[in-house]
A and B are shown apart, each in its own frame.
Chain A
Amino acid sequence: MKKEIPILIGFFATIGWYLEFFFAGTFFENWKMFFTTGFRSVAIVGLLVGVVNVLRVNYSRIKYNNDRWYSIYQMSIIFLMVILASLRGVSPGTPFDAMYTFGFIPLDATVFSLLAFYVASASYRSFKIKSIESAFLLVAAILIMLSKMPLGEAMWSKIPAIGEWIMDGPTSAGKRAILFGAYLGGLTMMIRIAFGLEKSHLSD
Chain B
Amino acid sequence: MELINTLIDSTILNHTFQIWMSVLFTLMMLSFLFKDNPLYKLGENTFLGISLGYGWVRSWEIVVVPFLIRPLKDAYLDFQPYDITLILWLIMGSTMFFRFSRTKAWVANYYFAFVFAYVAGYEIPVQVQNLFVQGSNMMKPLFEQPSFFEISKWFVIIFGTFSGLMYFFFSKPHKGLLGKTARVGILILMINFGASFGATVMGRIALFIGRAQVIADNYTASIVLAIIISIFLFIYFKYLQKEPKLDDEQMH
CB distance from A87 to the nearest CB of B (A): 7
Partner of B85, one of A14, A37, A174: A37
Are A194 and B164 CB-contacts (below 8 A) given A46-B115, A77-B50, A133-B190?
no
A180 to B135, CA, bound (A): 9
**Residues of B contacting A45 in the complex (Cβ-Cβ under 8 angstroms):** 90, 93-94, 96, 111
- Interface: A169 (CB within 8 A): yes
A111 touches B47 (CB 8 A): yes
- Interface: A140 (CB within 8 A): yes
Q: Mark B109-126, 1 if CB is under 8 A from A, else 0.
A: 111111111101111110
B93 touches A34 (CB 8 A): no
User: How many chain A residues touch the partner (CB < 8 A)?
Assistant: 123
CB distance from A168 to the nearest CB of B (A): 5
Partner of B111, one of A42, A48, A165, A181: A42
A78 touches B110 (CB 8 A): no
B124 touches A119 (CB 8 A): no
**Residues of A contacting B92 in the complex (Cβ-Cβ under 8 angstroms):** 38, 42
**Residues of A contacting B86 in the complex (Cβ-Cβ under 8 angstroms):** 37, 41
Are A193 and B204 CB-contacts (below 8 A) given A79-B53, A201-B112?
no
- Interface: B239 (CB within 8 A): no
**Residues of B contacting A115 in the complex (Cβ-Cβ under 8 angstroms):** 204
Interface members, chain B 1-59 (any A CB < 8 Å): 4-5, 8, 12-13, 18-19, 21-23, 25-26, 29-30, 32-33, 41-43, 45-54, 56-59
B207 touches A116 (CB 8 A): yes
B180-188, B222-230, B241-249: which lies at the interface: B180-188
Partner of A49, one of B96, B153, B195: B96
**Residues of A contacting B93 in the complex (Cβ-Cβ under 8 angstroms):** 41-46
A186 touches B196 (CB 8 A): no
- Interface: B77 (CB within 8 A): no
Question: Counting chain A CB atoms within 10 Å of each CB, which of B32, B159, B208 scores highest?
Answer: B208
**Residues of B contacting A96 in the complex (Cβ-Cβ under 8 angstroms):** 54, 57
CB closest residue in chain B, given A17: B121
Partner of B61, one of A51, A90, A176: A90
A37 touches B89 (CB 8 A): yes
**Residues of A contacting B186 in the complex (Cβ-Cβ under 8 angstroms):** 133
A176 touches B134 (CB 8 A): yes
Question: Counting chain A CB atoms within 10 Å of each CB, which of B19, B118, B185 scores highest?
Answer: B118
Partner of A180, one of B33, B110, B134, B149: B134
**Residues of B contacting A177 in the complex (Cβ-Cβ under 8 angstroms):** 160-161, 163-165, 167-168, 185, 188-189
**Residues of B contacting A54 in the complex (Cβ-Cβ under 8 angstroms):** 52
A77 touches B46 (CB 8 A): yes
A84 touches B52 (CB 8 A): no
B123 touches A186 (CB 8 A): yes
Q: Mark A156-179, 1 if CB is under 8 A from B, else 0.
A: 000001000111111111111111
A158 to B105, CA, bound (A): 61
A-B contact pairs, 16 of them (CB 8 A): A13-B118, A39-B118, A74-B45, A74-B48, A75-B49, A99-B54, A100-B50, A108-B47, A119-B201, A170-B195, A171-B192, A171-B196, A172-B157, A174-B188, A177-B164, A181-B168
Chain B residues engaging chain A, CB cutoff 8 angstroms = 4-5, 8, 12-13, 18-19, 21-23, 25-26, 29-30, 32-33, 41-43, 45-54, 56-59, 61, 63-64, 67-68, 85-86, 89-90, 92-94, 96-97, 99-100, 105-106, 108-118, 120-125, 127-128, 130-131, 134, 138, 149, 152-153, 156-161, 163-165, 167-168, 185-202, 204-205, 207-208, 210-211, 214
Chain A residues engaging chain B, CB cutoff 8 angstroms = 2-3, 5-7, 9-11, 13-18, 34-35, 37-49, 51-54, 56, 67, 70-71, 73-82, 84-85, 87-88, 90, 95-96, 98-117, 119-120, 123, 132-134, 136-145, 148-149, 161, 165-181, 183-184, 186-187, 189-191, 193-194, 201-204
